[in-house]
Chain A
Amino acid sequence: MRPKRILVPLHRDEVAPRFDLAGEALIADVDPGESGFTAEEYLLPQASAEGLCDLVLRKDVDVVVCGGIEEEYYHYLRWKRVEVLDNVAGNAREAIARFAAGRLKSGEILFDRGAGHAR
């Protein structure tokens, strides 16, 4: 299977809770089944859903892993044949690792519910 390119909108080191308000993104190339991956951070001039969609297309991204995303951007990305796993909450690199292991789906909450990494 060919490697997949994943984009995760970032808020600090987490999957950004909102696609439209993320000012940075992490792009990783993942070989399905492999645990390791290379990732690069991208800084957007300003937080914007259009800017992120543009980055997704420019970088030939296959999969977007994000938190909340509005219907119009979701359908736009799907129309561009980009897979979107939304409503994911947790650490961005952990989300990518789980995707690589074939264990990430929409709506996944990756936070350790007991530990304190809230603020």
Chain B
Amino acid sequence: MPIPPEILASIDLPGVLDGLPLGVAVLDPEGRVITVNSALERLTGISREEARGVPCRHVIRSGLCFRRCPAEGGADTDIVNRNRARIPVRLSAVPVRDALGRELYRLDIVEDLSALREMERRLEEPGGVGGLVGKSPAMERILRLLPAMAQADAPVCVIGETGSGKDSVAEAIHKLSPRSREPFVRVGCGPTPPQTLEAELFGRRAASGEIVPGALQRAGAGTVYLSDVGDLPEELQVRLVRLLDEGVAVPAGGSAPLRCQARVLASSGASPEELTRLGRLRQDLAYRLGALRVDLPPLRERPEDIEFLLAHFLEVFAAKFRKDVRSFTPKARRLLLAHDYPGNVRELRNIVEFAVMVCTKPAIPPACLPAHLLGLLGQGGEE
């Protein structure tokens, strides 16, 4: 049954478009943008006021538009948004005609495929979860735990030595969570003036009265990751406790609290108990951050992962550098297995990257390993 014209005329069309989870651009018959919905504003980073009257190819900026018009049929393509990110999308077009069949408008519909592509990529990864790989019982236990932790909204504290993969764990939790379509914003709490850190984390009120967004506002309903949380000044720790309790943050120089939906993840080289004992972390913050906790074991405590990681990174870098390097010679392998990796996975990864880069043979000999490593192991470069 057709909708009566008076009902059609009374429909709040912009409200309907803004309620759609897909990006929509309403175009005139010349291909100029009449309006875009809020999902497309978020996807492209271009506001509806800026987009109005601009040819659609300059707003959507899809790869498909360089080959043919989406009106000729939709396709999977990509866009480059205002924030310089390339986003995989499905682009399709729907003509809007009048009763006589004349085309009045066209709707270009843009579906963000990032989550789908990310899922495909994750399924193809050997470790399966984010960029994390590991076959030792300790790592397998962590990899099993992460999807469950990702579903919760409570803060997670990731503890591990330098290079053990704290950042990767935080990213994996975000990517596995229902917040994965929202931003992941990292804030390094390391040596930074407290005022700068305050503005970076909570935002600040500019002289004009405008609020300059901090990480908590930029993350929206996504995730804010505080690395080296033990370096956070005490006054900011107090404010972080309030944020975790009440979900509000007051920007620097402001007085009105702003509601924050972002989830907080934190990392540290030492456990919250140790940081509290050293007086670097407030007890109340330690309890809140320690609700969910991931303790990453150093590589020397899971030697069974070393060989696996060597093979994994060899494959990764051989593909990246397009080199036919397939293995390590037995002596190079023995040397690599004998090392205790104080820099953990990052150090192992860097060693393999260097070796693949300089190696010109199918098997990496000791001579292709970094000189400092050979020095540490008391070896010359000869096979």
Which A residues contact B (CB, under 8 angstroms)? 11, 14, 17-21, 47, 67-71, 74, 86-87, 89, 107, 109, 111-114, 116-119
**Which residues in B have their C-beta under 8 angstroms from that of A18?**
61, 63, 66, 80
Q: Considering only CB atoms and an 8 Å cut-off, how many residues of chain B contact the other chain? A: 23
Assess whether B234 is interfacial by the CB under 8 Å rule.
no
Annotate B9-43 by CB proximity to A: 1 below 8 A, 0 otherwise. 00000000000000000001011100000000000
Contact B54 A109 (CB under 8 A): yes
**Complex Cα gap A55–B261 (Å):** 45
Contact B80 A111 (CB under 8 A): no
**Which residues in B have their C-beta under 8 angstroms from that of A11?**
57, 66
- 8 Å CB contact of A68 from B52, B55, B82: B82
Contact B31 A68 (CB under 8 A): no
Contact A20 B80 (CB under 8 A): yes
Contact B84 A89 (CB under 8 A): no
**Which residues in A have their C-beta under 8 angstroms from that of B28?**
118
Annotate B160-185 by CB proximity to A: 1 below 8 A, 0 otherwise. 00000000000000000000000000
**Complex Cα gap A87–B86 (Å):** 14
Assess whether B53 is interfacial by the CB under 8 Å rule.
yes
Which B residues contact A (CB, under 8 angstroms)? 28, 30-32, 50, 52-58, 61, 63, 65-66, 79-82, 84-86
Contact A69 B56 (CB under 8 A): no
**Complex Cα gap A17–B65 (Å):** 10
**Complex Cα gap A118–B82 (Å):** 20
**Complex Cα gap A74–B84 (Å):** 8
- 8 Å CB contact of A71 from B31, B53, B61, B84: B84
Contact A118 B84 (CB under 8 A): no
Known: A21-B63, A67-B61. A119 touches B55 (CB 8 A): yes
- 8 Å CB contact of A70 from B54, B56, B80: B80
With both chains docked as a complex, state the minimum distance between the C-beta of B163 and any C-beta of chain A, in angstroms: 24
A119 nearest CB neighbor, chain B only = B31
